[in-house]
Structure 1
Amino acid sequence: MTIEVWAPRAARVRLRRPGRDDVELTATDAGWWRAEATLAPGDEYGFVLGGADTARPDPRSRRQPRGVHDLSAWDDPASFAWSDEAWTGRPLAGGLIYELHIGTFTPEGTLDAAIGKLPHLVELGVSHVELLPVNAFNGTHNWGYDGVLWYAVQETYGGPEAYRRFVDAAHAAGLAVIQDVVYNHLGPSGNYLPEYGPYLRDGQSNTWGASVNLDEPAVRAFIVDNAVMWLRDFHVDGLRLDAVHALHESASRPVHILQELSERVDALSAHLGRPLTLIAESDLNDPVMILPREAGGYGLAAQWVDDWHHAVHVALTGETAGYYADFADPGALPKTWAGGFFHDGTFSSFRERDWGRPVPAEVASWRFVEFAQDHDQIGNRAAGDRLSQTLSFDRLAVAAVLTLTAPGTPMLFMGEEWGASTPWQFFTSHPEPELAEATRRGRRAEFAAMGWDESLVPDPNDPATFERSKLDWSETEQGDHRRLLQLYRALARLRREQPKLTDPSRAGQQAECAGPGRWVLHRDAATIYVNLSPQEWAVDDIGDEREVWIATTTANGGQPVEEGPVVLSPDSAAVIGGRRRPRLERRFAQYRPVD
């Protein structure tokens, strides 16, 4: 076989295999080195650069059995016996995403253990499982955004073989898999790529470190080939692209890296005969991400909408500090409901400048991923506290209604569906004491600058911080946790069964504030009433052809209302639409979250 590596900074490159003589690689074109050698699955190897004597991992290593500082191991993706030949994928439109972190999703924190929880996701009504990054990082546990070997699956999660088992099992259960990938920076420990070549941009950085050098063709190929690997070799159905606003390249480049990715992925989708989805996390509020390429956009399938989160969070919690300040406007929730972005060219007080661009009316609503909680908005709080740790059950139920009737594609963060009491905190496992201390100091200084008591900020490198963040699955059968889970299941079912709740047209997505703490949100002929005020709210006569589909109110004796005024108790919501089939009406009482 041909062994190759891009190493333009090396004057000499040797392939090292334990117990065998080194093999000299020959310099070829554009910084590539090649040689003929033999590697069998499981064989360990690395590259010795220049006059050094220590081998470095392969930049495209698929497996790191002893961590990111040690030798790579050859992994053959064709060796796995897939059972998903009949899998045709799932479109994102009409879907429900469930975001999870492998290390804290189960007590074991492995991909194989996560397989055992897939029936829970199916019963919940999930269509797409989104995994936080699993690429290899130094240490035993962290969020995954400190990865340094993008092609390798973290060994503590089970490595590439366990990853293939997980995807195969997900497909067998009817679930698509979205993998979170990080192409905007590399972690602080175990990054040997700069020894090989100019992977990073000298003298330029973003929030997390040195910027990736997107003006180098080999680095762009490194990214595009990685995306293809997940989708083709691991049978993944989509990628969530982390913080694409931190992908910097020269303005003179003819094609943006995101457009290059979308073109390559669309071609692969046509070849494989199943939908492949690219989702951007973008802070820019710019619809260019999801506009078609022929209209000057990058052609991605969807993007996260933080504005929707912020509007809902402020409505539910009343928090207005920092970037939440602008969303104290009672019109924030209606505007994001109807238009996607709150800042669409308006002034952002947090950024101290005008921000964003309007969304063209023809953009389908499912292209916006909307959520009331996610890993960032929980974990980047000082104590990593979820909504469930500060809100009442009634308000958590309203959050459920807002999320699962949202115009966009709803996304849940693991445990949200039962109001998990466990926090999800910022945790690391840096083996280097100096890096652990720097992370600890930086985290506490960050929150001190925002007025937080430093003592409330947990030590990221303390193993207890990681352990506290693991879900407690016993809660799913307990009291209000169980009631909330029933509500999420009912809402997900309602979303699947009522076309109005997945209609991609934004024409019927109107909304208005009906007074302090009260909103009326429309999905065409369906209407969602939200009462977060301290008084009961009697809404207008719902008419002969409409009924309450789901309500969290304790008013009206806790019974479905056929006609006449619907009274919403404080901290409640109701979804009202056209009459349903009797089978659905019988389910109403069974899944209502009220006593």
Structure 2
Amino acid sequence: MSSPFDVWAPRAESLTLVADGTEYPMTQGEGGWWHPAEAPTATDDVSYGYLVNGSDTPVPDPRSRRQPHGVHELSRTFDPSAHDWHDESWQSPGLNGGVIYEMHLGTFTPEGTLDAAIGRLDHLVDLGVQYVELLPVNAFNGTHNWGYDGVLWYAVQETYGGPAAYQRFVDAAHQKGLGVIQDVVYNHLGPSGNYLGVFGPYLTEGLSNTWGDSLNLDGPQSDEVRDYVLENLLMWFTDYHVDGLRLDAVHALHDERAVHILEEFAERTDGCAAELGKPLFLIAESDLNNPRLIQGRDVGGYGLAGQWSDDFHHAVHVNLTGETEGYYLDFDSVGALAKVLEKGFFHNGTYSSFRERHHGREIDPSRVSPLQLVVAAQNHDQIGNRAAGDRISATLNPAQLAQAAVLNILGPFTPMLFMGEEYGASTPWPFFTSH
């Protein structure tokens, strides 16, 4: 019989479970999985970790559900079934063109918590928002972070309130008629608090992307790594009742298998939706301009529900601000904006001066709906990656901001707002981290 303290650790030569101060020797079974001969009952408050290869300091569980004292400390058990849900009347419309509101929990309220954010949901209801999209909430080192330095994908950041608060937030949102989309990061791990490598080959050394070593999706022992990710994906739907996931930078997922991990994501999501009897969906962040991501699997696509179109942002930004540096150069015309509105992508096989090569592929309107493209005049990346973290409200007048809003909300695509955009917030939002 399996134990909740079982752990996949093919790299370990010895392993000891430490739970509430007691040590429990573990033995290695099939496939690199280790099992304790005896272990405590996994109640809701067991603090535990693992001594790897005789170490004196325990490290957290790769599938930890709670990190009350930070990602370098002991894990703690959490029972997701303990929450009494009251969202039975919620009916998700799926990805249907309703407005998405991108929110960072740590800066959305002065308190920076999930419970505090619940108190602001009526504002979003009055605004006409359909979905709240939370920037990543998985556990990171420190007290504040953009969210993209997470190292324990199964744990909700404790400074936000932890997993129980996350359930309360989703429940409250659904009761108010708001859906929830969770931003998840599967292409890299943060630089501080990542102990996965001592357990197994979660990352592929020597194969890196912009943020570090790539996830091992197609190398030796990658079956378990893929299961680790797929089980995490399903966790958000089953344990936390979220309606959709935004997949961060899918172009950084290196996978040369015949069945790409994105296709498997979509298959598992569709299967879970059928099992739960409600719509569930995935939105990819991708700069590939490749409609294959959102085409049906029956025509060789991956079957994702939607993907971001950064070309829309670039065209709107250039035509309103006049900025033409870097990747904005090709969008310096009203014609570029018109093409995006008509075709979905500007670069659909055309030459990209920023990349110094041809880029993208044309969308077949018989296979892809415009509503599958999520667009924004501002988002966390396009604001936060600027040197000063300045919003367009810092330079544009109210009439120009209204033009951006009209293009975004009334266009043919699925619109997204970044928090504060609805009232022309002028506060900067630069990149930040405390790790």
- Counterpart of 1:263 in structure 2 is 267
- Counterpart of 1:122 in structure 2 is 125
Q: How does 1:332-347 map to 2 (within 5 A)?
A: 332-347=336-351
Equivalent of 1:214, from 191, 207, 217?
217
Structure 1 residue 355: Cα displacement: 0.3
Structure 1 residue 28: Cα displacement: 1.3
- Counterpart of 1:54 in structure 2 is 57
Larger Rg: 1
**Number of equivalences:** 427
TM-score, reference length from structure 2: 0.97
Residues 136-193 of structure 1: CA distance to partner in whole angstroms, max 9, x if unpaired? 0000001000000000000110000110000000000011100000000000000000
Equivalent of 2:303, from 296, 299, 320?
299
Provide the rounded CA distance (Å) in 2 between the counterparts of 1:49 and 1:94. 49
- Report the 3-state secondary structure (helix = DSSP H, G, I; strand = E; otherwise coil) of the residue aligned with 2:141: coil
Residues 335-380 of structure 1: CA distance to partner in whole angstroms, max 9, x if unpaired? 1001110000100000000000000021111000011000000000
The amino acid across from 2:263 in the alignment is Q
The amino acid across from 2:54 in the alignment is G
Provide the rounded CA distance (Å) in 2 between the counterparts of 1:33 and 1:89. 40
Provide the rounded CA distance (Å) in 2 between the counterparts of 1:30 and 1:308. 47
- Counterpart of 2:319 in structure 1 is 315
Residues 1:142 and 2:145 are matched in the alignment: yes
- Counterpart of 2:187 in structure 1 is 184
Residues 55-83 of structure 1: CA distance to partner in whole angstroms, max 9, x if unpaired? 11000001000000000000000111111
Unpaired runs of 5+ residues, structure 1, are 431-595
Residues 1:373 and 2:374 are matched in the alignment: no
Structure 1 residue 277: Cα displacement: 1.1
Provide the rounded CA distance (Å) in 2 between the counterparts of 1:264 and 1:25. 32
Structure 1 residue 53: Cα displacement: 1.8
- Report the 3-state secondary structure (helix = DSSP H, G, I; strand = E; otherwise coil) of the residue aligned with 2:155: strand
Q: How does 1:456-475 map to 2 (within 5 A)?
A: none
Contact residue 281 and residue 304 of structure 1 kept, 8 A: yes
Provide the rounded CA distance (Å) in 1 between the counterparts of 2:32 and 2:337. 52
- Counterpart of 2:31 in structure 1 is 30
- Counterpart of 2:232 in structure 1 is 226
Provide the rounded CA distance (Å) in 1 between the counterparts of 2:374 and 2:410. 12
Equivalent of 1:408, from 410, 413, 421?
413
The amino acid across from 2:30 in the alignment is D
Provide the rounded CA distance (Å) in 1 between the counterparts of 2:253 and 2:411. 29
The amino acid across from 1:352 in the alignment is E
Residues 298-325 of structure 1: CA distance to partner in whole angstroms, max 9, x if unpaired? 1000000000000000011010000000
Residues 1:243 and 2:218 are matched in the alignment: no
Structure 1 residue 202: Cα displacement: 1.3
Residues 497-537 of structure 1: CA distance to partner in whole angstroms, max 9, x if unpaired? xxxxxxxxxxxxxxxxxxxxxxxxxxxxxxxxxxxxxxxxx
Residues 1:423 and 2:425 are matched in the alignment: no
Provide the rounded CA distance (Å) in 2 between the counterparts of 1:395 and 1:325. 20
Contact residue 16 and residue 23 of structure 1 kept, 8 A: yes
Structure 1 residue 425: Cα displacement: 1.0
Q: How does 1:270-285 map to 2 (within 5 A)?
A: 270-285=274-289
Give % identity.
65
Contact residue 349 and residue 362 of structure 2 kept, 8 A: yes
Residues 526-549 of structure 1: CA distance to partner in whole angstroms, max 9, x if unpaired? xxxxxxxxxxxxxxxxxxxxxxxx
Provide the rounded CA distance (Å) in 2 between the counterparts of 1:266 and 1:19. 42
Residues 1:290 and 2:294 are matched in the alignment: yes
Residues 1:11 and 2:17 are matched in the alignment: no
The amino acid across from 2:343 in the alignment is G
Residues 1:133 and 2:136 are matched in the alignment: yes
Equivalent of 1:348, from 343, 348, 352?
352
Provide the rounded CA distance (Å) in 1 between the counterparts of 2:348 and 2:400. 28
Contact residue 290 and residue 299 of structure 1 kept, 8 A: yes
Provide the rounded CA distance (Å) in 2 between the counterparts of 1:421 and 1:348. 32
Unpaired runs of 5+ residues, structure 2, are none
- Report the 3-state secondary structure (helix = DSSP H, G, I; strand = E; otherwise coil) of the residue aligned with 1:210: strand
Equivalent of 2:91, from 88, 91, 94?
88
Provide the rounded CA distance (Å) in 2 between the counterparts of 1:219 and 1:154. 22
TM-score, reference length from structure 1: 0.71
Provide the rounded CA distance (Å) in 1 between the counterparts of 2:200 and 2:93. 39
- Counterpart of 1:44 in structure 2 is 47
The amino acid across from 1:238 in the alignment is G
Structure 1 residue 89: Cα displacement: 1.9
Contact residue 97 and residue 415 of structure 2 kept, 8 A: no
- Report the 3-state secondary structure (helix = DSSP H, G, I; strand = E; otherwise coil) of the residue aligned with 1:229: helix
- Report the 3-state secondary structure (helix = DSSP H, G, I; strand = E; otherwise coil) of the residue aligned with 1:25: strand
Structure 1 residue 26: Cα displacement: 1.9
- Counterpart of 1:382 in structure 2 is 387
Structure 1 residue 267: Cα displacement: 0.4
RMSD of Structure 2 on Structure 1 (CA): 0.9
Provide the rounded CA distance (Å) in 2 between the counterparts of 1:87 and 1:233. 16
Provide the rounded CA distance (Å) in 1 between the counterparts of 2:337 and 2:323. 14
